Amino acid sequence: MKFNSILRSLALVAALASTVPLLAKPYSKTINIAQSAKIGKADLQAGEYRLMIDGNKATVQKGKQTIAESEGRWEDRATKSSNDSVLISDGQVKEVRFAGQTRVFVFNE
C-alpha cells in the first residue's frame, strides 16, 4: 500500500514537472536599433522595437504590428552585460544582450 502511494506521488511530480516549461512566459524587452539592419529576412530601420522571445523563436514588433520573426538560441557568456545592446554585423542582427544578465539571445541567421 505504501509503495502505491509513493508511486502515485512520483507520477504526480513528473506530470507537474513536464508542464512547467509550458507555463513559462515569453521574455519581452524594448530594444533600440541604431542603424538599419535585418532580422531574418525582414529589413528594420533605425528605431525602437519590442522584442519577444518565446523559447527559440524571436518576434519583433513595432506597436502592435509584427515586423520580423526569426529563430535563435540562448547562450551564456562569462560576464554580465552592463546595458541592453544589439550586436549588428554585416547589416544583420547577430545577438541581443540584456543588462545585468550573462545570457544573450543569438539569432540563427
pLDDT in tens, 15-53: 655 554 445 678 899 999 999 999 988 999 999 999 999
Whether residue 29 lies inside any domain: the answer is: yes
> For residues 7 and 15, is the Cβ–Cβ distance under 8 A?
no
- The pTM score is 0.74
Does 89 map to a domain?
Answer: yes
Asked if 49 contacts 62 with a C-beta cutoff of 8 angstroms, the reply is: yes
User: pLDDT band at residue 1, thresholds of 50, 70 and 90?
Assistant: low
**Residue 21: which residues within 8 A CB-CB, separation 6 or more?**
none
- Reported as a single tens digit per residue, the pLDDT across 56-65 is 999 999 999 9
Residue 80 lies in a domain: yes
Kindly state whether residue 4 falls inside one of the protein's structural domains.
Answer: no
Determine the structural domain holding residue 81 and report its residue range: 25-107
C-alpha cell belonging to residue 62: 513595432
98 within some domain: yes
Residue 38 within any structural domain of the chain: yes
Radius of gyration of the chain (CA): 19
Number of domains in the chain: 1
- In the three-class reduction of DSSP (H, G, I as helix; E, B as strand; rest coil), residue 37 is classed as strand
